[in-house]
Structure 1
């Protein structure tokens, strides 16, 4: 799939962001950061957040006005076929304007292009619901995926992976709910599909889809845990069975789901610390907190206020103890944010060498006879 945005500029933008991060850690000077921007330029139009929101709202209003204006000259707007044709024409117009603005105005997720993309996708889906209003749910999911996947591959919009993820799991659920064995195996199917998605997206190294990949990784980690969580499985099983009871009945393979509820968060936390992977660690900590809630939901001997007080006290004590323990790095782990050990220093040195300058950082002076420089002499 050909990409809509300039790939070189996106790569350069990523390099500039990395240089800004190094500058915040005093691994690069402001002058060196400016040199990085000169060597790796990008010319995208990227307004601030509030300007982007305003442009998005303006574009949505403009798209709505355009469809209304177009319908004034359309003869057959009362039938499903006529309105579907009108929607397809509007979709083509939105895509044409979107491609023109990206190419001519250098837009890059600036609000206007996002709104035009959403309007085009929505207009393309209208005929599917107007002409096939009695189709099964799985058919709607497949048709929507046929539209959203190419749009995401071309424009790398952040809502694309969320929509694709939801449609894929909706499709899986709808198909497995059609037979009794599928209902029983649904939690395991969700976990297997989550693993497959996680492995698949981890193979991608394209900067163009970096944020989309991160979204899919987080979603797959969350659904893998929820698919094995005892509380979720037990309550969902009662809902699927149509039981209107205050306490859901016991489920099959309960010990296995007890194990999943505890083991998955622990595995996330351990893996996040070993790699290190901040995303995996945060998801693991949140999952562990939900596992505690799962236990107290069925076996609590404390009131809500007592449980919250005890949990808060334990979390504060654990945080203080870990900060003190990791103040001096242990096993490559530190309490410093985004600590990369010596890797960032090495990357900064390489980048500085390519630019013909040297990084400014205490203890890494060049030519002064101290350790780390080419001019080291008697003073080591």
Structure 2
């Protein structure tokens, strides 16, 4: 799929963010950061967050007015066929304007282009719901995937991964819920599908999709854990079976879900530290806290206030002990900021870009090196 935004500029923007992170750790001076920006130039229009929100709202209003204006020239828009025709014409106009503004105004997720993209996708989906009123839910989801997946591949919009992820799991749940065996195996199917998505997105190292990949990773990790969490499975099982009771009944394979509830957060934290994967590590800590809540929810003997005080005390004590223990690096982990990568790494990358040579220093690989995130290496 051909990308809408300038690939080189997107990669240079990623380098700018890396340089800014190094500057915050005093690895670069302000002058050196400016030198990096000069070597890796990009000309995207990227306004501040408040201007971006304003432009997005302006784009939504403009698209709405355009639909109303165009409806004056379309015969019988009150019928399903007439309104579907209007929607498809608007979709084509929105896509044309989106492509035109990206090429002429150098927009990059600037608000207006986001609004035009969402308007185009919505306009493309309207005829589906109007002309196929009684189609099953999974059919609507498949058609939506056929529209949103190419749009995400071309524009790398950050809302795309969230919608795609939700649609995929909706299709699976819709199909499995039709059978009693499917309902029983749904938690395992959720875990398998989440693990498969995580493994697939991890293989993509394209910087153009860097943030989309991180969103997929977060969603997959959270879903994999929730699919095996005892509390979630037990409560949803009662909800799915229409059991209107104050206490959800015990579920099949309860010991297995007890095991998943405990072992998944431990694995997340362990491999997050081992692979220096910040996303995996942080989600592991959050999952561990939810596992503790799961245990307390069914087996707790303390009041809520007592549990909060005890939990806070344990976390503070653990944090103090770890800070003291890791003041000197242990097993490649330390509480100190990472300063082993010097400016020489950045110069090596610049040389690779300008001269077409391969950097000799293995300390940094943009998109797959040792600096945090989903593509981290073996050390912080």
Task: Check whether the contact 1:158–1:211 (CA below 8 A) recurs between aligned residues.
Answer: yes
Per-residue deviation at 1:164? 0.1
Q: Counterpart in 2 of 1:87? A: 87
Q: Counterpart in 1 of 2:219? A: 219
- Cα deviations by residue, 1:283-342 (Å, 9 ceiling, x for unpaired): 0000000000100111010111111111111111111211222222211112235x3x62
Alignment of 1:187-202 (within 5 A): 187-202=187-202
Per-residue deviation at 1:347? 1.8
Task: Check whether the contact 2:162–2:215 (CA below 8 A) recurs between aligned residues.
Answer: yes
Distance 1:344 1:130, change over 3 A: farther
1:342 is the counterpart of 2:332 = no
Q: Counterpart in 2 of 1:108? A: 108
Task: Check whether the contact 1:5–1:155 (CA below 8 A) recurs between aligned residues.
Answer: yes
Task: Check whether the contact 1:176–1:182 (CA below 8 A) recurs between aligned residues.
Answer: yes
Q: Counterpart in 2 of 1:162? A: 162
Q: Distance in 2 between matches of 1:169 and 1:151?
A: 19
CA RMSD of aligned residues (A): 1.5
Q: Distance in 2 between matches of 1:231 and 1:203?
A: 32
Question: Which sits farther off after the overlay, 248-257 or 347-356?
Answer: 347-356
Q: Counterpart in 1 of 2:147? A: 147
Q: Counterpart in 1 of 2:135? A: 135
Task: Check whether the contact 1:22–1:344 (CA below 8 A) recurs between aligned residues.
Answer: no
Unaligned runs of 5+ in 1: 357-380
Q: Counterpart in 2 of 1:285? A: 285
Per-residue deviation at 1:172? 0.4
Task: Give the aligned length.
Answer: 354
Q: Distance in 2 between matches of 1:179 and 1:254?
A: 21
1:252 is the counterpart of 2:255 = no
Per-residue deviation at 1:14? 1.0
Q: Counterpart in 2 of 1:263? A: 263
Task: Check whether the contact 2:28–2:343 (CA below 8 A) recurs between aligned residues.
Answer: no
- Cα deviations by residue, 1:126-173 (Å, 9 ceiling, x for unpaired): 001111111001101101000000000000000000000000000000
- Cα deviations by residue, 1:186-215 (Å, 9 ceiling, x for unpaired): 000000001100000000000000000000
Question: Radius of gyration: which is bigger?
Answer: 1
TM-score by length of 1: 0.90
Per-residue deviation at 1:234? 0.5
Unaligned runs of 5+ in 2: 356-380
Q: Counterpart in 2 of 1:326? A: 326
1:73 is the counterpart of 2:76 = no
Q: Distance in 1 between matches of 2:343 and 2:262?
A: 38
Q: Distance in 2 between matches of 1:240 and 1:198?
A: 27
Task: Check whether the contact 1:28–1:348 (CA below 8 A) recurs between aligned residues.
Answer: no
Per-residue deviation at 1:27? 2.1
Task: Check whether the contact 1:261–1:291 (CA below 8 A) recurs between aligned residues.
Answer: yes
Task: Check whether the contact 2:46–2:109 (CA below 8 A) recurs between aligned residues.
Answer: yes
Q: Counterpart in 1 of 2:172? A: 172
Q: Counterpart in 2 of 1:5? A: 5
